Amino acid sequence: MRLSRLIAVTLAGAAVVPPLAACSSDEPAPGKVPQAATSAPVSAEPTDEPDLHPFTGKPATALKPVLAVKIENTAAGKPQLGLRSADIVYVEQVEAGLTRLMAIFSSKLPPKIGPVRSARISDLHIVPQFGKPAFAYSGAQTKMLPLIAQASLWDVSDSRAPGAYFRQPGRVAPYNLFANTKELLAKAPKASKAKDIGLTFGEAPAEGGVDKKSYTVRWPGARFTFAWSEEKKQWLIWQDGKKDMAAEGGQQSAPTVVVQYTKTERSQFHDKNQSYTPLVHSVGKGSAVVLRDGKAYKARWERKSEEEGTTFTTESGEPMNFAPGQVWIALASRKPVTP
């Protein structure tokens, strides 16, 4: 039985809406509003190059198991460790309008990752596209546990694989729980290997991109700004007006950032403070903005079912190629709302 039937929620497509953009005085100034893409590059002739990884578009000699990890994303949990090695990083809204991350690992595996935090209902709608990945998290609301047990994932939470977790010295609970990634995967020997989830990589559309120095996305209690670095060929990440630094050193960044505009509404779950948990609809279709190569492209997204991946296209219907490397996908709403 599909998860959506279990919680009796119909996943609806997001409305096609213009993206929000803003910035504060301590962040890079935003550029112009993106314009519609009108064409896509001509497909290259087949070559003898190695197969490309479906999550990053980089050469891959073998496809490895998928590990999804829930990561804290408030100031109390920063700097995060291991995110730099992720193939895909999802930004999801949680209670009180804050955000939490779900990092997807396969092509590279950092030795340690954290801080690991609790799961949310939106996670269970995202992970089925990866098959049956290993899913690392620390706790969940009691009413959600039966849904996790029936979801398409291998549970390697701190209650199922306690030996894989440890408390990091110098950090305060609950923001000090970290995990050894190899031990997590050892507890899920049958975890699905990476496969096509709809993403395409290659040359950017020949037309339609608008030069963009920065792009800001807002949630009710959080703000991300992605600022282009011509020197690094990456979008540097700022959160709530501050540089988003990695525990390994340097600022978090990615060559491709996707702002995927979705419908967010109240789920049946809430925390101890009676703040309702948002349900982010990642199945359906809607509008998006793809940031790559210092440009912003208007795009469309579509995901037909939970078992399928998400395709991104230009407004003319051609594949919206991403730049090879890590991809950040910010699941945002047209009008930030706390359900």
| Confidence bin at 339 (pLDDT 50/70/90) | confident
Contact 144/119 with Cβ under 8 angstroms? yes
| Mean pLDDT, all residues of the chain | 87
Residue 200 has pLDDT above 50, yes or no: yes
Report how far residue 260's alpha carbon sits from residue 122's, in angstroms, rounded to the nearest whole number: 14
Mean pLDDT calculated for residue range 146-155: 96
Residue 54, phi-psi category: left (phi > 0), alpha (psi -120 to 50), beta (remainder): alpha
Report how far residue 42's alpha carbon sits from residue 267's, in angstroms, rounded to the nearest whole number: 43
Percent of the chain whose predicted confidence (pLDDT) is above 70? 84
| Confidence bin at 276 (pLDDT 50/70/90) | confident
Cβ neighbours of residue 46 closer than 8 Å, sequence gap 6 or more: none
Helix, strand, coil shares of the chain, percent, nearest 5, are 10, 35, 50
Mean pLDDT calculated for residue range 136-151: 94
Residue 50 has pLDDT above 60, yes or no: no
pLDDT of the residue at 31? 42
Q: What is the CA radius of gyration of the chain?
A: 19
Q: Side chain identity at 309, as an amino acid letter?
A: G
pLDDT of the residue at 268? 74
Residue 44 has pLDDT above 90, yes or no: no
pLDDT of the residue at 4? 41
Report how far residue 43's alpha carbon sits from residue 238's, in angstroms, rounded to the nearest whole number: 35
Compute φ and ψ for 244, nearest 5 degrees: -90, 95
List the domains of the chain with CATH numbers.
3-43+51-332 (3.50.90.10)
Helix ranges (H only) for the chain are 3-6, 121-126, 145-150, 181-186
Q: How many residues comprise the chain?
A: 339
Mean pLDDT calculated for residue range 243-259: 97
Q: 106-125, pLDDT tens digit by residue?
A: 999 999 999 999 999 999 99
Residue 41 has pLDDT above 80, yes or no: no
Q: 309-322, pLDDT tens digit by residue?
A: 999 999 889 999 99
Q: Is the dihedral of CA 219, 225, 226, 232 positive or negative?
A: negative
Q: Which of 304, 297, 264, 301 is nearest to 286 (CA)?
A: 301
Residue 204 has pLDDT above 50, yes or no: yes
Helix ranges (H only) for 90-153 are 121-126, 145-150
- Token pair 């590059």: residue: 41
Question: Looking at the DSSP assignment, which residues form a beta bridge with residue 319?
Answer: 313
CB atoms < 10 A from the CB of 7, how many? Answer: 17
pLDDT of the residue at 278? 87
pLDDT of the residue at 195? 97
pLDDT of the residue at 266? 79
pLDDT of the residue at 267? 78
Higher pLDDT, 113 or 141: 113
pLDDT of the residue at 294? 97
Q: pTM of the predicted model, to two decimals?
A: 0.85
Mean pLDDT calculated for residue range 3-22: 38
Give me the half-sphere count of Cα atoms (radius 13 Å) on the Cβ side of residue 38: 4
Residue 26 has pLDDT above 50, yes or no: no
Higher pLDDT, 198 or 11: 198
From 95-104, 177-186, 329-338, the region with the lowest mean pLDDT? 329-338
Mean pLDDT calculated for residue range 79-106: 97
User: What DSSP assignment string belongs to 151-204?
Assistant: SSSEE--TTT-GGGEEEPTT--TTTTEEEEHHHHHHT-TTPPBP---S--BSSP
Q: Is the dihedral of CA 118, 120, 122, 123 positive or negative?
A: positive
pLDDT of the residue at 334? 86
Report how far residue 236's alpha carbon sits from residue 230's, in angstroms, rounded to the nearest whole number: 10
